Amino acid sequence: MPASANSARQGDATQTAIDSLPVAVEAVLGAAKMSVGELTKLGVGDSFILDSKLGDAVDLRVNGVVVACGEIVAIGDYFGVRIQSVARE
C-alpha cells in the first residue's frame, strides 16, 4: 500500500476518534452579580435578575468558550436550543 494511502487512513481514524469524544455543552441564559451576603440570604422561592432579557439569545459554551448562540425552544417535555449562529475563529 502506498504511504499516502496509509497516511490518509490514519488521518480518517484519528478524525473518527476525535469526532466521537464527548464534550459538555452549556446553554448560558445569563449571569448576575451579588455580594456573598446577598447570596447566603437566598432561599427557596426567592428570585433575582439576570443580565439578559426574555427573548435574548443564549450562549452555548464548551470549556467556557462560546461556540454558538441560539434560542430556547421546547422539544417535547424538554428544553432545547435552536442554533442561530455559530462562532468562527
**Is 58 a member of any domain?**
yes
**Is 32 a member of any domain?**
yes
Q: Could you report the per-residue pLDDT of 22-64, keeping only the tens digit for each?
A: 999 999 989 999 999 999 999 999 999 999 988 899 999 999 9
**Is 15 a member of any domain?**
no
**Is 12 a member of any domain?**
no
What are the backbone dihedrals phi and psi of residue 30, each rounded to the nearest 5 degrees, phi first? 170, -175
Number of domains in the chain: 1
**Is 76 a member of any domain?**
yes
- Residues 12 and 19: their CA atoms lie apart, in Å, by 10
pTM here?
A: 0.67
Give me the domain span that covers residue 50. Answer: 23-86
